[in-house]
Amino acid sequence: MLPDPSLAPRRAWRSPWRRSYSRSKLAQCEKDPDYCAKVKKTPPYDKGTRLVDLINMAILDFLMSNMDRHHYETFEKFGNNTFLLHLDNGRAFGRHSRDEPSILAPLQQCCRIRRSTLLRLRLLSLPQFRLSDVMQESLSSDRLTTVAPLLSRAHLAALDRRLGAVLQAVRRCQEQHHRSNEVIYNDITGYD
């Protein structure tokens, strides 16, 4: 669904929080508790919304248990004033019974989240708007559902469990940082 790269060139970026997959040689983000402070000083994460965009991507990856996020892409034309393209989600929704908290490292280490993201996640944690119910309703309109369910009940339940873990991580960040604006990036006009 994306335009041909000849019409809209894209740039691939290595994720600063990519995994090492080695027990003996950990990635810098896996061993340095102040890793986010270094990332914040590095372009393109030192300006604009790129860092909170990356944190949003990590939250999505955690919800769908996608441990394989090495890269993301952007449209070159917009420079750092762009959005992230989340391509290659092939390892998502693998094991429903296991959560991988290291996927949330950008959120946990940077303690930063968009206000709009947090409000949406809180809404999806309410019983009348549960993420699993919203997802099931959305998937029910897909034509592939006539062949077989796209996500099992266990995968849907995992979404709700993981959403709770994300909100708990935000609460821990808020406890660590006493000023709300240190944790919540205000991307909604009209809020202080």
CA dist., res. 161 & res. 112, Å (int): 21
Over residues 41-59, mean pLDDT: 95
Cα 2 to Cα 110: distance, rounded to the nearest angstrom: 31
Q: Tell whether 66 is covered by a domain.
A: yes
Residue 22 pLDDT class (50, 70, 90 cuts): confident
Spatial neighbors of 139 by CB under 8 A, at least 6 apart, are 145, 149, 150, 151
Q: Which of 46, 53, 68, 142 is catalytic?
A: 68
53 catalytic residue (yes or no): no
Number of separate domains in the chain: 1
Q: Decide if 4 is inside a domain.
A: no
Answer yes or no: is 182 a known binding residue.
no
Asked, for residue 64, whether it belongs to a domain, the answer is yes
Residue-level pLDDT at 190? 66
Quick: pLDDT tens for 65-88.
988 888 999 999 888 888 899 887
Nearest to 65 by CA among 86, 96, 88, 27: 96
Residues contacting 43, CB < 8 A, separation 6+: 80
Q: What is the mean pLDDT of residues 138-152?
A: 83
- The answer to whether 137 is annotated as binding is no
Question: 141: pLDDT confidence band, cut at 50, 70 and 90?
Answer: confident
pTM recorded for the entire structure: 0.91
Please indicate, yes or no, if residue 13 is contained in any of the structural domains. Answer: no
The predicted structure's pLDDT at residue 179:
75
Report yes or no on 43 lying in a domain.
yes
What residue numbers bound the domain in which 51 lies? 32-139+148-185
* CA–CA gap between residue 92 and residue 143 (Å, rounded): 20
Report if residue 20 sits inside a domain.
Answer: no
Is residue 85 in some structural domain? yes
- Does residue 87 form part of some domain? yes
Q: pLDDT tens digit string along 89-129? A: 777 888 898 999 999 999 999 999 999 999 999 999 999 99
pLDDT of residue 82: 85
